[in-house]
Structure 1
């Protein structure tokens, strides 16, 4: 019998909502078949079966919240119960160790030996002095180490209850239970690291919402909850300042129209966004503080030498920000192709966690939904975000004459702790320069 546990599927994810079972009890499954679909705070993930067998028991219902390390399904693979095998293996290794220790007095000249999966390195008095400040070797079986990893427990912080301080599975389970209990009792965490919705409420006297008519209550999804927490974190930690301007993009509109046919021949949908991404990337190289982040703990500005541009995408479940990696190394069409793929997979909830990580600067396009101006919120811990409005034709005065031009509203929000208004203005002017004369983008 194989007891399948919900494993750690990505950085920072400790639980998920079981959306749908793909099999019922009694069904046959094969190694690699999708067992169930789980919704996390970032993505929807298909969880595959690690073995062939027959579904013996479903231990969670659709809609339940499951945590990393929870057994959610039992599969009869014709073998011994996985937990039983692990227990026997651990018990066998522990017994070996204890037997050797008990025979210590009879060990003679050789002395007692440690037997098990981990080996204690030999050392002399000199080594002990040199390594007095080093970390002590933690004894644990591979099974125990995997369990600790699945539960998000740092095994090096545990004191083992087994022979010679060996960390047992019970020690890990107890540590996991304690951590869950501590999380429930925590009120407000250091705002240098995170701020969540519950802690926010505890510090603010929020009046009770009075309801005078018919309402519908909808449970907040994990994704919406994460968006709310990230917005609170950003606005409570980062002092925002915003600059706005109108860019004349008449030449960009002409160029995009000319190149659109060429892109279509390569099966690429060419929008204005790839040009904006390229312009922003080139401007970031000249003003690197906007491609940085503020490390409050060490009181340092972290300048990033790579350019990963996040694109805010409107999805049915909420806002997602997939990342175009190494945008400085890619051309307009390559950026366009990659961006379109990221947007499509985000809207279908097929985006991977890796595609959502590592951004250094973000762009939000509220012009796509018909809006002009906005005040974008910075994606923590980035230093800035630029918002793009709807392109419209407006009369402007050029050389004393009124002419009709294509204008786009631009908003830039900055982390005012590390970015001054003057730098923000210069950065915007550089982006404007590239977008008003888009040939510079093609020649860069």
Structure 2
């Protein structure tokens, strides 16, 4: 019998993906657990395994197509006569504020149709009462000042997606006449004295790049950023690292400056807990987090990712060095787990690894702060009234000015500087 394979809910708030590669063809035999397609989500690229054994009847999407959770994208001929009934009777998986999903049994405050027959009418009836949307989407709509109940959702069962909210926001704020607006491709070509397509290339955004764009926009236009910058003499830390770096290589440990920075940052977070927090505007509360899950920004071929080191305060310098190497490598190789890319309480980004000195890092929403590291440079400084050559590390701290004042920003950097300039003190206090 025919089994309709729907794009599964793979968790972590993933609602859709883009097919980057089909791993089967129509007519090919497939076993349960074999991968049918490679799909790029807004966080990682992953392979989707078949839940049944049989023959691939039809591929219902093309490479490059976007598919939503619950959408049928493959049909499989199976030997089990009960498959068709199971497939056709399974409800769509919709993540809602009160929805709970266990296997394929769904509890929800809304009436969810078991098939697409009469879909439009039912969706309208539901949306008149309360639109389907995730808590994240509702928060985004509130931040952008958009009435989510007036938005027609494009997701499964009419669910309002983040893209729908951004589109509605742009329409509401764009009060300018369209005629004033735009240079067409033809007009641009005339200005450049060239034919269309000769001097430009249009590259479709990947799902990950679109997500990065949305997250950066959300952070920058939700959180009033301010950035404090300073430099720290890490000459003693440079000598300490140099002394142990080679010996630790034998233990397969790559000893960088990052583990020491993580330790110093956590000490500052414990003294200034507002930096390890997030703001709940809906309830007028500051959420102070008593755990330290540190995000480490990683530059990958697919874009910026922020894998997380859980309970980093409980790890030694050597353990942190191993953890940093592990998550960074797996992020770059696209073998990182989805759960490892969310839930950080504070983020550190090292643009100095590719040559940057000072920068203005953007906060990883909804966190309240991010610490940026520049390139370690040898330069002259004044120490004990003498000019000496020192190893200097630039620091940039961006923080949420709604909940953190400038004085606290300076105190945070002073604490980090104190511990990095005296590594023995750092090890004694951590």
User: Structure 1 length as normaliser, TM-score?
Assistant: 0.79
Task: Give the whole-Å Cα distance in 2 for the aligned partners of 1:27 and 1:168.
Answer: 29
Is 1:198 equivalent to 2:183 in the alignment? no
Contact 1:323 1:355 in 2 (8 A): yes
Contact 1:323 1:358 in 2 (8 A): yes
Is 1:157 equivalent to 2:101 in the alignment? no
Cα distance change of structure 1 residues 340 and 151 upon mapping to structure 2, 3 Å threshold: same
Contact 1:7 1:150 in 2 (8 A): no
Comparing 434-443 with 206-215, greater Cα deviation is found at 206-215
Matched position secondary structure for 1:189:
helix
1:327 paired residue among 279, 299, 312 = 312
Cα distance change of structure 1 residues 265 and 54 upon mapping to structure 2, 3 Å threshold: same
2:371 paired residue among 374, 378, 386 = 386
1:404-419 equivalent positions in 2, closer than 5 A = 404-419=389-404
Task: Give the whole-Å Cα distance in 1 for the aligned partners of 2:97 and 2:6.
Answer: 13
Deviation, 1:283, is 1.3
| Corresponding residue of 1:431 | 416
| Corresponding residue of 2:336 | 351
Task: Give the whole-Å Cα distance in 1 for the aligned partners of 2:120 and 2:169.
Answer: 30
Is 1:362 equivalent to 2:347 in the alignment? yes
Matched position secondary structure for 1:289:
helix
Contact 2:235 2:392 in 1 (8 A): yes
Task: Give the whole-Å Cα distance in 2 for the aligned partners of 1:176 and 1:323.
Answer: 41
Task: Give the whole-Å Cα distance in 2 for the aligned partners of 1:239 and 1:398.
Answer: 36
Is 1:371 equivalent to 2:356 in the alignment? yes
Comparing 72-81 with 293-302, greater Cα deviation is found at 72-81
Cα distance change of structure 1 residues 325 and 69 upon mapping to structure 2, 3 Å threshold: same
Task: Give the whole-Å Cα distance in 1 for the aligned partners of 2:220 and 2:168.
Answer: 14
Deviation, 1:158, is 2.7
Contact 1:289 1:418 in 2 (8 A): yes
| Corresponding residue of 2:244 | 259
1:19-418 equivalent positions in 2, closer than 5 A = 19-80=20-81, 82-85=83-86, 143-144=90-91, 147-149=92-94, 154=99, 155-159=107-111, 168-169=114-115, 189-191=141-143, 197-199=166-168, 201-202=170-171, 203=173, 207-208=181-182, 211=188, 212-213=191-192, 214-418=199-403
Contact 2:9 2:93 in 1 (8 A): no
Cα distance change of structure 1 residues 152 and 83 upon mapping to structure 2, 3 Å threshold: farther
Contact 1:3 1:81 in 2 (8 A): no
Task: Give the whole-Å Cα distance in 2 for the aligned partners of 1:259 and 1:53.
Answer: 57
Cα distance change of structure 1 residues 86 and 319 upon mapping to structure 2, 3 Å threshold: closer
Deviation, 1:173, is 5.3
Matched position secondary structure for 2:142:
coil
Cα distance change of structure 1 residues 183 and 55 upon mapping to structure 2, 3 Å threshold: same
Matched position secondary structure for 1:403:
strand
Task: Give the whole-Å Cα distance in 1 for the aligned partners of 2:320 and 2:380.
Answer: 32
Q: Let me know the Cα RMSD of the aligned residues.
A: 3.0
Q: Deviations over 1:362-384 (max 9, x none)?
A: 11111011010011111111000
Q: Deviations over 1:290-337 (max 9, x none)?
A: 001110000000000110111111111211111111100111111111
Comparing 51-60 with 169-178, greater Cα deviation is found at 169-178
Comparing 385-394 with 258-267, greater Cα deviation is found at 258-267
Deviation, 1:406, is 0.5
The number of residues matched between the two structures is: 381
Deviation, 1:218, is 0.8
Gaps of 5+ in 2: 100-106, 146-161, 193-198
Cα distance change of structure 1 residues 149 and 71 upon mapping to structure 2, 3 Å threshold: same
| Corresponding residue of 1:137 | none
Contact 2:4 2:87 in 1 (8 A): no
Task: Give the whole-Å Cα distance in 2 for the aligned partners of 1:197 and 1:231.
Answer: 13
Task: Give the whole-Å Cα distance in 2 for the aligned partners of 1:345 and 1:387.
Answer: 22
Deviation, 1:252, is 1.1
